Amino acid sequence: MPFYQMLCITAHYNEYRPIKELVQRTVQQVWDRGGVVRRLNSWGTKTLPQRMRRHKQYHQIGDYWTMDFDASPRTLRTLNNLMRADPSVVRWTVLKLGDKVENIVTPPSKTTPR
């Protein structure tokens, strides 16, 4: 299965619950279709580079988070549909990092100490 990284910007809320629920649904989508979530990372709340409009609302502040995962291309289409429909998602992008995790991770160098 290919290895992907998704960066997501969600609308900022005073409470963290909507973002937590979105992350749980996203992870569940990957798991239900046989994928593996390798890492979740929160980048915190940041001011957006420019005012963004999504679902007929303007946003100036967003919560950034990333997810590294292995999934099939069919699962990726399902994730894109989930992100497109969710009103709390401002922007997202998915990058294909490689065909296998082994191709991404560099093995430790075998140098001799001096």
Please indicate whether residue 58 or residue 105 has the higher confidence score (pLDDT): 58
Structure confidence by residue, pLDDT tens digits, 61-85: 999 999 999 999 899 999 999 999 9
Structure confidence by residue, pLDDT tens digits, 17-27: 888 999 999 99
Nearest to 68 by CA among 98, 89, 37, 91: 37
pTM equals 0.80
**What is the DSSP code string of 45-78?**
EEEEEEEEEETTEEEEEEEEEEEEEE--HHHHHH
**Domains defined along the chain, listed by start:** 3-100 (3.30.70.60)
